[in-house]
Amino acid sequence: MTRLVIVSNRVAPIKRSKAGNEGGLAVAVAAAIQGRGGLWFGWSGKVYEHEPGPVDIFEIGNLTYATVDLSHRDYDEYYNGYANRTLWPLFHYRLDLSEFDRRYRTGYERVNAMLAGKLIPLLRPGDLIWVHDYHLIPMASHLRRMGCRQRIGFFLHIPWPNLEILLALPNHRDLVRALCEYDLVGFQTERDLRAFHEYIEFEAGGTIDDGGVVRAYGRHVRTDTFPIGIDAEAFAQYAQKAESSPQTQRLCDSVGGRRLLIGVDRLDYSKGLVARMEAIDHLLSTYPDLRGRIVMLQIAPPSRADVPEYMMLRHEVESVVGRVNGTYAEFDWAPIRYLNKGFRRQTLAGFYRSSRVGVVTPLRDGMNLVAKEYVAAQREADPGVLVLSRFAGAACELDGAVIVNPYDIEGVAEGLRKALTMSLEERRERWSSMVDRVRQYDVIAWQQSFLDRLSAAPSAPAA
């Protein structure tokens, strides 16, 4: 079998990862590569003080990991800077938070070139190279320049913004041109794919044929959607097992006969946490009968904690949670339990299963795996209800959810109320339509369909 080479910003060794500190990309890539084996290359997550060490190569099971440390400057400019303060906010439609600093842009190119240089000697002819996410868009162009002729695919885990938003990025052209160096570019949803095609047509003067082949900047690249999935079977098993675990029991005992709502999100402004807490406020003020009868459990492990916008967000969430609890709490009940830490996946699965409502209300999200995990974890006989933002990629697939507009606080409160009072019959009907989809298009199907398309792409012409 052809060797698979995964390239992503962070590498998450499967047996070494700690509870809750890995994001959606690491969770999905780990699940996808585990059965197949190959090489996983990227940043170690460490920053060196003086001199960079050699590439750290180690094996766990059928996987070889190769990791590289970054300098402080790389970390500031490439990771915290261009990736997290320029591309991330812009691609999530937060132009107001996007920083355009030429140093960041230069650092981004420099680190991509450095990583490509370290990867080249590890490659073998016939490897299939799969690059992940917005940190590494220029990777293929650097690899090509260094003589790499293997097939290279790219998958974007986050949204691709519409044309007007993207045009605000000073070097938008370089970025799109770099994407055209791949053999296959995959997006989460039709919405993202359409937005990319729109740029190609109206800004790059390129063309797109019926099969999704884009011709622009003297290149042609295949494009398509590959909605990411989860390991649904494993997750359902975790949930079933965790049902009787001491932690789930403790949670249920502490909630008593009340209805539990759950949110699980990295502490990120794209996840809509402040608006979600405002919706809880609105729910309790509009429906006083719910006071004392519901509990919102919000798990929000810290993320990118040294980026200023994330520090501010943490204060904002703490403040709104404090205000809502201060307004409604009684000596024996508080509406919101806000936990600024992560849990093991097994524990999370048990918590999802014990919750009547899964609250997934991002302002913008590439897919959102939590929505799928919540569905997979439910009991067939008595499933909970998913309340889902229309701006999460998952909304394109999970039509049995109560779909809400996260900007409309009153609308979200109404959606929550509907979920809390839904009949068993309707809950079962909605859930069964979603769980079939989650099981069928799981993470293995996602990996398979992307790699099949990449393998079928014509290989790059010899230099």
Residues carrying an active site annotation: 157, 365
| Residue 438 binding ligand GDG, by CB under 6 A | no
Measured between alpha carbons, how far is 183 from 458 in angstroms, rounded to an integer? Answer: 8
Q: Which of 8, 355, 368, 389 binds ligand GDG (CB under 6 A)?
A: 368
Scanning 20-28, 32-40, 74-82, 177-185 for contacts with ligand GDG by CB under 6 A, the matching segment is 20-28
Measured between alpha carbons, how far is 279 from 285 in angstroms, rounded to an integer? Answer: 10
Q: Which of 105, 135, 157, 417 binds ligand GDG (CB under 6 A)?
A: 157
Q: Which of 158, 214, 239, 284 binds ligand GDG (CB under 6 A)?
A: 158
Using CA atoms, how far residue 54 sits from 44, 48, 123, 228, 418, in Å, is 12, 11, 16, 33, 56
CB of residue 361 vs ligand GDG: minimum separation in angstroms?
12
| Residue 301 binding ligand GDG, by CB under 6 A | yes
Scanning 44-52, 110-118, 344-352, 400-408 for contacts with ligand GDG by CB under 6 A, the matching segment is 344-352
Burial label, 439 (beta-carbon count in 10 A; 0-12, 13-18, 19+): middle
- Give the binding-site size for ligand GDG (rule: CB under 6 A): 26
Measured between alpha carbons, how far is 231 from 295 in angstroms, rounded to an integer? Answer: 28
Nearest residue to ligand GDG, scored by beta-carbon proximity:
24
CB of residue 28 vs ligand GDG: minimum separation in angstroms?
5
| Residue 379 binding ligand GDG, by CB under 6 A | no
Q: Which is nearer to ligand GDG, 111 or 230 (CB)?
A: 230
| Residue 358 binding ligand GDG, by CB under 6 A | no
| Residue 227 binding ligand GDG, by CB under 6 A | no
| Residue 186 binding ligand GDG, by CB under 6 A | no
Q: Which positions ≥6 away from 404 have C-beta within 8 Å?
A: 361, 387, 388, 389, 390, 411, 412, 415
| Residue 143 binding ligand GDG, by CB under 6 A | no
Q: Which is nearer to ligand GDG, 348 or 359 (CB)?
A: 348
| Residue 150 binding ligand GDG, by CB under 6 A | no
Q: Which positions ≥6 away from 333 have C-beta within 8 Å?
A: 258, 292, 295
- The amino acid at residue 410 is E
Q: Which of 69, 127, 281, 365 binds ligand GDG (CB under 6 A)?
A: 365
Measured between alpha carbons, how far is 12 from 43 in angstroms, rounded to an integer? Answer: 10
| Residue 400 binding ligand GDG, by CB under 6 A | no
Scanning 33-41, 166-174, 250-258, 364-372 for contacts with ligand GDG by CB under 6 A, the matching segment is 364-372
| Residue 165 binding ligand GDG, by CB under 6 A | no
Measured between alpha carbons, how far is 98 from 82 in angstroms, rounded to an integer? Answer: 9
CB of residue 207 vs ligand GDG: minimum separation in angstroms?
29
Measured between alpha carbons, how far is 149 from 442 in angstroms, rounded to an integer? Answer: 31
Q: Which is nearer to ligand GDG, 63 or 367 (CB)?
A: 367
| Residue 348 binding ligand GDG, by CB under 6 A | yes
Q: Which of 116, 232, 260, 370 binds ligand GDG (CB under 6 A)?
A: 370
| Residue 359 binding ligand GDG, by CB under 6 A | no
Q: Which of 123, 148, 369, 434 binds ligand GDG (CB under 6 A)?
A: 369
Scanning 362-370, 403-411, 429-437, 452-460 for contacts with ligand GDG by CB under 6 A, the matching segment is 362-370
CB of residue 121 vs ligand GDG: minimum separation in angstroms?
29
Q: Which residues bind ligand GDG (CB under 6 A)?
A: 19-20, 23-25, 27-28, 157-158, 228, 264, 266, 299, 301, 342-345, 348, 365-370, 373
